[in-house]
Structure 1
Amino acid sequence: MNLSARKFNLAIFLLVICSEISLAQQSNLKPLIITIDTKKQAQTIDNFGAAGCWYAEGIGKFWPTQKKERIAELLFSQERDEKGNPKGIGLSAWRFNIGGGTTEQGDNSGIKEVNRRVESFLNSDGTYDWSKQAGYTWFLKKAKNYGVEKLIAFSNTPPVQMTKNNLGYKTEKDYRSNLKPDQYEAYTNFLTEVLQHYEKEGLRFNYISPVNEPQWDWTGKFGEAKQEGSPWRNDEIAQVVKSLDNALEKKKLTSQIILPEAAKLTFLYRDTTHSSRQVQQFFGKNSSLNLSTLKHLPKLVVGHSYFTDEGDSATVAIRAQLADTVSKYGVQFWQSEYSMLADGFREGMKGRRSGMDCGLFLAKIIHQDVTVANAAAWQFWNAFEPGKPDFDTRYYLIALQPNANYTDGEFYATKNLWALGHYSLFIRPGMHRLVITRNDNLSPVAAAQKVMVSSFADATGKLVVVAINYEMEARNLQLNVKNYSSGAVYKRYVTTAAAADNLKPYPAGKISQAITLPPRSITTLVIQK
């Protein structure tokens, strides 16, 4: 070994030693004490999920069995390997896109990217072809086989035969639905025919969403449109939901309707667009659009967290206002679509953000949606898309690198996948979020750059604690769990920037002992009485 190599190795050795000394010193700092009262419950969790849109078709239909089986395992499995590492993130909800028929139109659909066109089960002669959307259905079956508790069907556009322009998106910027005025009953009959078919196949949809992001105009120049979509005014949403409720009743289906899939959280409680103040409009006592008496409509509003993540203060304020509004109107809130469409995830930094930076930011948004907005469900868009796994992984859980025809390719799990898994794998449907207090008395805004903690419990008394250490230094966490034995033992799962630290099992311990949170990490503790 030459002198330069020796010096280099010595420098690395000293760096490692110094890092370990520094970590040991920091772990002796005064801990953050989190007090959990198991009797103080907040919202009941319905699910954590993701959408399998667009690229599910090619993967499910064409990709080699071993590859697509592993993708399904990453998304749905709750099992561990022989070393205790989770095989997947155990999603408890899966969103299935009911297509509008733009695939069959080919280039005449006007949608530029082939993979964003979607088949329709409805033929032009009014008959149904249940062989369509085979790739989507493959993933739906896998979700069911893995025990995913909640299946959700959603529609971005009515079938093209029913739209005003015979396209899956708008060409006239009038912010009105693209559905022909005389086709409401036909559209909702189509949706319920799809639900009924899958139910006969043993794939019952728990929820059906008939409109999506109604605030956008969804217009596009022919040949350059990005995807299927339609705007909807509040009165049009009310009309389609009433028709859908009636169609579900006629077919004796038990699926529940979720609405309105607001494009931003603020549209649910404020703003002045054609489809704003949707909590007040659909659940206000004196509103002419009140839908609260419909049999298949739960007291629930669903919105998307896109474009509401620019800075911690605004992020928290928007969610606090939403929580206040839904509480006043006696409804629940779900967050059903989020990825880093805006640049909030960069947090003022220039250049690319690492996969771990993205994963931490994702965990932060989940935390704020669940603890500030009181979201009873949280779902990511999109499960898989083309991209790289190491930097700016803003749009996907699994990065795809497909071949030219999307019939095969490679795939990579991102830190986003594992960040969501810290919630989805451990916080199961029916668990309650618990109210916590912290000895540093930091507000949600201040804690967003330090350590964020949330806690959940099931009926057996099992606790789940998720701690996000946003800091560059290790932090100590001490749990003070009321009505709980101090001798209770926790299992610990950690994700860091290290390649192997993906929900990795770390040493267990007693809750009476302080727990070290590595720098820039996510930790889930599972505690059984």
Structure 2
Amino acid sequence: MKTSIVLFFVCIIQTFNGLAQQPDSVIYIKVDFKKKMQVIENIGSSGCWFSEGIGKYWPTEKKERIAELLFSKQSDENGQPLGIALSAWRFNIGAGTLEQGDKSGIKDFRKRSDSFLNSDGTYDWTKQEGYRFFLQKAKDYGVETLIAFSNSPPVQYTKNGLGFKTEKDYQSNLKADSYIDYARFLTNVTKHFDEVGFHFDYVSPVNEPQWDWSRKYMEADQEGSPWTNDEIFKITKALNDQFETAKLKSKIIIPEAGMLNYLYNGSGKASNQIQQFFGQKSQFYIGNLKHVSKTIAGHSYFTEGNNDELLSTRQHLADTVKKYNIHFWQSEYSMLADGFKEGQKTDRTAMDCALFLSKVIHTDLTVGNATAWQFWNAYEPGSATMNTRYYLIALQPDPDFKNGNFTPTKNLWILGHFSRFVKPGMTRLSTENKTDSKTRSKDKNLLTAAFVDGAGKLVTVAINYGYVAQQVKIERMNTLHAYKKGTRYLTTSDEQVNLQPEKIDALNSQLLLPARSISTIIFE
């Protein structure tokens, strides 16, 4: 009897849930071709720390597949993408902590990095073999933008001879008399790679200057150095002069702020960085330097604790960027803070993490008007199914890190919904979501962004953040293009559904978005 009662209620609950999943109206995604926003420059990721072990030691088949997952633009015979076709790759220029071994003070040997600069001042271009493997693969696959960045000056030039700070003073670890030396080092590295066929479009000399990066000896997590605005100005000017002397075409991008609000606000000596570096009356104005990109770079960490913070931070940033007539790059993000938990105390599934990631990307692009978006980190050790907050590909390495296994996460495919299809040169178009219901004008769980290229190819990314399926129809406004072919790429919580392609009717363009899913819809 008890069993019958339980089964009865299970059936009732299943029936109710099934009804709850049905959309109660059609949401119209109105894409306006006349309302053009920013032009996208790139969407990419970084290969920091773990590239060295993988690229140098792991079996060829494994590291080649990892590269394919990140960079490939090809599909299999069924149209299934083989990779996410990143259009930017960030290459870490090491500070030399790997050579120091345990004396480096960095506890995890995998996060120590080589330096091309020898102790006698000569260069060894065979260093960073693993990093160079992935740089080569990025070039081979046609990644459009290569970026070199540095977390710390070479240990030869730091005040304490280490790749991190041991004192909490928020001053750069670079010796006062080594600005030209550090600038010349970055220039020599950039010039060398130019000469061997790898052009770095951008070079970033500082990283997250707001953090003190101070640790006790043998407790450091990684290479790093703080910088004041004054110090950033000095190294940027020195690097600009060295680039000019060497006749390089690379651009300098700064300041890789640790939080977006430091770009327009904050206190301390590394704040209000848009105003400080691009205000023409500022003593630190760099907008007139030939090799400086008219772009401000910042990281989306710690500014997504709730939706209000997510939106207000990026709106304020966009307003300030517009005022100073520059561009904004979101140049580093993973779910470092706990915002991704969204108030939950339990573990988050891979799809929960991926959807939160998609919301941050969406907001950075549509509210912050970012012209580039880059993830940190492409691969790290961890689970592929739960709390996948830090990486696109989960590594299961051997203890010596000379072999191991790997698993693509939902984060990889979610980023691919943007990187695979929203390509450099595309223009974001304004979208508005409306329903045919009189009781609501839009559904807050539906996040949409649209992009168009010069030939009129339309790419719409639609995120259904809610637990109810949504029926949507794309309405194209103010365009003369007659779309005949359409494809939808879908990712859901199902382990097998990742950028899954299906042909759609471009004339009707009505689709069902499953609950907790993301779709990229392409009209040719």
> What is the distance in 2 between the residues matched to 1:283 and 1:448?
38
Please point out which of 460, 464, 470 is paired with 2:465: 470
Which SS does the other structure have where 2:293 is aligned?
A: coil
Structure 2 letter corresponding to 1:346: K
Task: Report the equivalent of 2:253.
Answer: 258
Kindly state the Cα deviation for residue 448 of structure 1 after the two structures are TM-superposed.
8.8
Query: Does residue 1:178 correspond to 2:165, yes or no?
Result: no
Q: Which runs of 5+ in 1 are unaligned?
A: none
What do the CA deviations read for 1:355-412 (whole angstroms, capped 9, x no partner)?
A: 0000000000000000000000000000000001000000000000000100111100
Q: Which residue of 2 aligns with 1:342?
A: 337
Match runs of 1:502-513 below 5 Å: 502-513=498-509
1:70-469 equivalent positions in 2, closer than 5 A = 70-439=65-434, 449-469=444-464
The SS at the match of 1:72 is helix
Residues in 2 aligned to 1:142 and 1:91: alpha-carbon distance in whole angstroms: 12
**CA distance in structure 1 between the aligned counterparts of 2:20 and 2:267, rounded to whole angstroms:** 53
Which residue identity does 1:458 align to in structure 2?
D
- 1:478 partner amino acid: K
What is the rounded CA distance, in whole Å, between the counterparts of 2:74 and 2:432 in structure 1? 32
SS at match of 2:292: coil
Residues 135-159 of structure 1: CA distance to partner in whole angstroms, max 9, x if unpaired? 0000000000000000000000000
CA–CA separation in structure 1 for the residues paired with 2:269 and 2:349: 39
1:364 touches 1:448 (CA, 8 Å); kept in 2? no
Shift of residue 34, structure 1, vs aligned partner: 1.5
Q: Deviations 1:286-311 (Å, cap 9, x if unpaired)?
A: 11111010001121100000000100
Deviation at 1:279, TM superposition (A): 0.1
TM-score (norm 2): 0.95
Q: Could you tell me which amino acid in structure 2 is paired with residue 55 of structure 1?
A: F
| Cα drift, residue 507 of structure 1 | 3.8
Q: Deviation digits for residues 196-244 of structure 1, max 9, x if unmatched?
A: 1111111110000000000000000001011100000001000000010
Counterpart-to-counterpart distance in 2, 1:457 and 1:397: 26
Task: List runs of 5+ in structure 2 lacking aligned partners.
Answer: none
Q: Which residue of 2 aligns with 1:496?
A: 492
Amino acid at match of 1:280: Q
Change (3 A) 1:124 1:266: same
- 1:461 counterpart SS class: coil
What amino acid does structure 2 have at the position aligned with 1:224?
E
CA contact under 8 A between 1:352 and 1:392: conserved in structure 2?
Answer: yes
Q: CA RMSD in A?
A: 2.2
Q: 2: distance between equivalents of 1:213 and 1:487? A: 45
Matched to 1:50, the amino acid is S
Instruction: Give the residue type in structure 1 aligned to 2:522.
Output: V
* Shift, 1:438, TM fit: 2.3
Measured after TM superposition, the shift of residue 478 of structure 1 is 1.1
Which of 54, 58, 64 is equivalent to 1:63? Answer: 58
Which amino acid letter does the alignment assign opposite residue 278 of structure 2? F
**Paired amino acid for 2:364:** D
Matched residue of 2:159: which SS?
coil
1:489 Cα deviation from its structure 2 partner: 3.0
- Specify the SS of the correspondent of 1:526: strand
Say which SS state the counterpart of residue 433 (structure 1) adopts: strand
Q: Do the aligned residues in 2 keep the contact of 1:436 with 1:455 (CA within 8 Å)? A: yes
1:527 corresponds in structure 2 to 523
The question of whether the paired residues in 1 share the 8 Å contact of 2:149 and 2:205 is answered with: yes
For 2:292, give the aligned amino acid: L
Distance 2:19 2:328 in 1: 46
Shift of 1:506: 2.7
Q: Which amino acid aligns with 1:499?
A: E
C-alpha offsets along residues 26-82 of structure 1, whole Å, 9 cap, x if unaligned?
3xx321112112122100100000000000000000000000000000000011111
Q: Is the 8 A contact 2:489 2:521 kept in 1?
A: yes
**What displacement does 1:488 show?**
3.2
- Preserved CA contact (<8 Å) 1:169 1:228: yes
* Larger CA deviation: 77-86 vs 511-520: 511-520
Compute the TM-score of the two structures, normalised by the length of structure 1: 0.94
Distance in 1 separating the partners of 2:296 and 2:315: 15
Give 1:53's aligned residue. 48
Q: Which residue identity does 2:67 align to in structure 1?
A: A
CA distance in 1, matches of 2:121, 2:436: 62
